[in-house]
């Protein structure tokens, strides 16, 4: 098994790329790029399954929901048209963006490497105006464009491969399982093997999540940068976007983490917009990076 895992590990170490903003990132080797899309789709659905559902709408509220859904489609199409003009390689990755509103109680977004962007119904309750709502969409789209899902999948696989190599070498699984077995009356060899495998899987999952949490702030800032470029190319004024984001309702005691992250984005965008008006055609990426 290790004869297979070592070359696979080496291929991941050498599979580096540069994101659109110039940041070095891991990408899956060519043979696993299709798997990356499937894995990110699964991860997106897992997030949806674990998020609390919003209560079913009634009468007038249903009409408001349908109106919000239509707004999302209109804004999404406007942004998608520009995204495909700005990033010619997108057509090679997926044929179109798909925008979905999921009936989830808390505000939030998720997406997959295949171009699906999901907005939680809770975002509707924030009463965002079009420019701010377009920023929310553009930021999530930018995560797809920048290959953040591919980066996350690559990290997960890389950690799993390392765990499969190191755990047997260091005999960690056997030590822990053996310790547990010593307190039991009897433990079968098969049971020990299963426990060691479960331990390795749990460790690799926890490790990959910890690594992803570590570089998520960089991904969020990168998505903000790209979102502002996308919005500018689609005709939105940066100051209008900033003003509408700053108009978010005051924070609640138990606010969703996603909403807090959006407030942080709003402050960073506001810092940029406090300077003189940005002339048409200015490199927004460079300007935003200088404010970080």
Euclidean distance between CA atoms 198 and 188, whole angstroms: 15
Residue 265 has pLDDT above 70, yes or no: yes
b/e string for 95-132 if b means 16 or more Cβ within 10 A? Answer: eebebbbbebebbbbbbbbbbbbbbbbbbbeeebeebb
Average pLDDT over the chain reads 79
Domain boundaries, the chain: 2-151+214-237
**pLDDT tens column, 19-71:** 666 776 666 666 556 666 787 888 898 899 999 999 999 888 999 999 999 99
Alpha-carbon Rg for the chain, nearest whole angstrom, is: 22
Whole-structure pTM value: 0.76
pLDDT value at position 221?
Answer: 94
DSSP label at residue 212: H
Question: By CB neighbour count within 10 A (0-12 exposed, 13-18 middle, 19+ buried), where does 262 fall?
Answer: buried
171 or 55: which carries more pLDDT confidence? 55
Non-local CB neighbours of 249 within 8 Å, separated by 6+ positions: 126, 127
Please report how the helices 148-170 and 130-145 are oriented relative to each other, as an axis angle in degrees rounded to 10. 50
Q: Does residue 110 sit in helix, strand or coil?
A: strand
| pLDDT tens-place string over residues 172-230 | 545 444 544 444 444 454 455 555 555 555 655 565 666 667 778 899 999 999 999 99
Out of 3-12, 13-22, 111-120, least confident range: 3-12
pLDDT at 15 over 90: no
Structure tokens at 133: 């709502």
- Within 10 angstroms of residue 146's Cβ, the number of other Cβ atoms is 21
User: Phi and psi of 282, rounded to 5°?
Assistant: -70, 145
pLDDT in tens, 268-286: 999 988 865 544 445 555 5
Q: What is the rounded CA–CA span in Å between residue 200 and residue 206?
A: 10
CA distances from 46 to 28, 51, 103, 153, 236 (A): 21, 9, 15, 14, 33
Residue 118, both tokens: 């999901």
Check pLDDT > 80 for residue 248: yes
pLDDT tens, 95-145?
999 999 999 999 999 999 999 999 999 999 999 999 999 999 999 999 999
Tokens representing 252 are: 């609640």
Distance of CA 151 to the CA centre of its chain: 10
């Amino acid at each position: 098994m290790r004869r297979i895992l070592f070359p696979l590990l080496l291929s991941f170490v050498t599979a580096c790329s540069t994101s659109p903003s110039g940041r070095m990132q891991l990408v899956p080797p060519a043979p696993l790029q299709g798997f990356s899309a499937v894995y990110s789709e699964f991860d997106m659905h897992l997030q949806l399954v674990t998020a609390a559902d919003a209560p079913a709408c009634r009468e007038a509220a249903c009409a408001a929901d349908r109106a919000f859904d239509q707004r999302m489609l209109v804004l999404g199409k406007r942004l998608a048209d520009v995204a495909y003009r700005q990033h010619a390689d997108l057509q090679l990755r997926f044929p179109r963006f798909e925008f979905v509103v999921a009936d989830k109680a808390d505000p939030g977004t998720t997406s997959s490497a295949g171009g699906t962007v999901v907005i939680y119904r809770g975002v509707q309750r924030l009463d965002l105006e079009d420019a701010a709502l377009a920023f929310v969409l553009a930021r999530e789209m930018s995560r797809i464009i920048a290959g953040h899902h591919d980066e996350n999948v690559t990290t997960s696989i890389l950690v799993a491969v390392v765990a499969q190599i190191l755990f047997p070498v260091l005999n960690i699984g056997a030590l822990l399982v053996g310790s547990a077995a010593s307190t039991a009356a009897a433990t079968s060899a098969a049971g020990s093997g299963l426990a060691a495998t479960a331990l390795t899987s749990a460790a690799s999952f926890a490790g990959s999540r910890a690594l992803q949490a570590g570089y998520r702030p960089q991904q969020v800032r990168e998505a903000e940068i790209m979102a502002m470029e996308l919005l500018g190319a689609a005709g939105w004024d940066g100051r209008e976007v900033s003003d509408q984001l700053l108009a978010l309702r005051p924070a609640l005691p138990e606010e969703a983490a996603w909403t807090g992250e959006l407030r942080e984005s709003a402050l960073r965008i506001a810092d940029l917009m406090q300077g003189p008006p940005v002339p048409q055609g200015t490199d927004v990426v460079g300007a935003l990076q200088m404010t970080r």
